[in-house]
Amino acid sequence: MRFLAAFVLLGTFGSGPAAAADCRDPANLLAQQNCGFDKDAKGWTAVPGASVSHDVADRGVLKAAADSQGSLTINGPCVAAQGKTGYHISARLRVAAGTVYFCSVNVFQYSDDRCSQGQEPLGSAPGPPATAWATVTGSATTGVARSVQVQPVCSGQPGFAVQFDDFVFGKG
């Protein structure tokens, strides 16, 4: 929980509309990375103790359940990025079950093209979770990044569940 709060304070995205309004828009770097979860949850994994699955609700969404400590971290796909470039992020989320205190769609930038070296926070699109769908948005400029990884996180009571959909990450 301390890491989540510190990350949000250090790397919050500035407000702004997403560059690509639809996750399937070719301008979205996640368009080919299962951004809308129409068929499955391929490419998106939870850290040990938490889980992700495909949920057929709303034409397909990513359903994620917290671990026994009330924490949830999801690793999204690694995508190529350009250094010193402005990007926009957006995603939809809602509470599916339990009590959720906070959710944020974090983005990390890496100095290599495989999201394995030189990890640094790029930014975060935080949002208070609710049972109705809400969209979180933000923007930030990369440093010397060659790749980025979207990493949604939430905290709450143990066993809570949230749904995510329509991830967008594109130049803007």
Query: What average pLDDT does the segment 59-78 reach?
Result: 95
Tokens standing for residue 10? 């250090």
Q: How confident is the model at residue 15 (pLDDT cuts 50, 70, 90)?
A: very low
Residue tagged 């917290």 (tokens): 66
pLDDT recorded at residue 127: 87
Q: Are 129 and 102 in contact (CB under 8 A)?
A: yes
* 93-110: b (≥16 Cβ within 10 Å) or e: bbbbeeebebbbbbbbbb
- Report the top-level CATH class of 2-171: mainly beta
Query: What average pLDDT does the segment 86-106 reach?
Result: 95
Query: What average pLDDT does the segment 60-74 reach?
Result: 96
pLDDT recorded at residue 34: 87
pLDDT recorded at residue 6: 34
Residue tagged 């994994």 (tokens): 45
Distances (CA, A) of 38 to 19, 50, 54, 65: 21, 21, 8, 19
Percent of the chain residues past pLDDT 90, beyond the cut:
74
Residue 66 has pLDDT above 60, yes or no: yes
Residue 12 has pLDDT above 60, yes or no: no
Distant-in-sequence, close-in-space partners of 23: CB < 8 Å, separation ≥ 6: 30, 31, 35, 36, 165, 166, 167, 168
